[in-house]
Structure 1
Amino acid sequence: MTTAEVAARLIKLCTENKFEQAQEELYADDILRIETDGTQITGKQNTLAAEKKFLGSLTAIQCDTSAPQVAGDFFSIVMNVGLTFRNGMQVASSEICVYKAEGGKITFEQFFRSPQAARPA
């Protein structure tokens, strides 16, 4: 897959809330993820475990994205997310997601987001 094809597939899966499938299908075994707080997670299995833990803390998620901006091996999207946590808190955020795709797999991702205020359900 080209970088543009990887981006299109990622967007399709994310907007269908198929986050785990996206990682299983598109992430390289040695992916590096950098969270908004600077935390680094290395490896597909560790990234997938972190995602499963996060998704397990939610009762609902809504996701939409911008069209991808592709430059060589890199692409970025704006992801708007609405989350409802098990404790009833709701959070809306907008983040810029930057990815690197090599050999048809995502090898790097980093997220940039300003904190959003949580509100009771």
Structure 2
Amino acid sequence: METAEIANGLVALCREGKFGEAMKAYYAEGIVSVEANEFTVTGLEACEAKGVEWQSEHEVHGIEVEGPFVGTGMFVVRFKLDVTVKASGKRLIADEVGIYTVEAGKIVREVFLFAGM
């Protein structure tokens, strides 16, 4: 699968809020996921668990997905998530980009960077 095809498929699923389905379809078993604070998980199962944990801690009111912006073997997606943090009740807009690396038809690395950090 070409990088653009993977990027467009991931974006389409994310726009529908189907993040778990996107992971299953496009992530490699050995995916490395790096957050802006350098928290890193390795493996599809760990990445899925991280997503489930995040969803349990946030109430999502809306999602905007921009892109993809595609290069050779990589692409970038911008996410704006209107969420309420359940623990504090604070509502905020999480503005971040995901930088994805593709090898052998699968996403092998994702790095998230946040606006205003």
Displacement of 1:61 in angstroms is 4.1
1:31 deviation in Å? 0.4
Q: Give the aligned length.
A: 116
- For 2:24, the equivalent position in structure 1 comes to 24
Q: Is there any run of 5+ residues in structure 2 with no aligned partner, and where?
A: none
2:60/2:81 contact within 8 Å kept:
no
Structure 1 residue 86: Cα displacement: 2.7
Equivalent position of 1:11 in the other structure: 11
Query: More deviation in 100-109 or 57-66?
Result: 57-66
Deviation at 1:106, TM superposition (A): 0.7
Work out the CA distance in 1 between the residues paired with 2:14 and 2:61.
Answer: 10
* Structure 2 CA distance for aligned equivalents of residues 114 and 37 of structure 1: 13
Runs of at least 5 residues in structure 1 that lack an aligned partner in the other structure: 117-121
1:119 equivalent in structure 2 = none
TM-score by length of 2: 0.90
- Whether 2:109 is the aligned partner of 1:108: answer yes
Tell me if the contact between 2:77 and 2:99 (Cα under 8 Å) persists in the aligned partners: yes
> 1:45 is matched by which residue type in structure 2?
E
Between stretches 2-11 and 51-60, larger displacement belongs to 51-60
User: What is the Cα deviation at residue 76 of structure 1?
Assistant: 0.7
The equivalent of 2:65 in structure 1 is: 65
Q: Deviations over 1:3-27 (max 9, x none)?
A: 0011101111111011111111111
CA distance in 2, matches of 1:9, 1:36: 24
SS across alignment from 1:82: strand
List per-residue Cα deviations over 1:77-98 (Å, max 9, x = no partner): 2111111233432120211210
Stretches of 4+ aligned residues off by more than 3 angstroms? none
> What's the CA shift string for 1:11-47, capped at 9, x where partnerless?
1111101111111111100001110111111111101
Q: Secondary structure at 2:67's aligned position in 1?
A: coil
Q: Which residue pairs with 1:34 in the alignment? A: 34
Structure 1, residues 94-117: CA drift from partner, whole Å, max 9, x if none? 11210011222110000110357x
The one-letter amino acid paired with 1:62 is G
Identify, as 1 or 2, the structure richer in strand.
2
3-state SS of 2:37 partner: coil
The alpha-carbon deviation at position 72 of structure 1 amounts to: 0.8
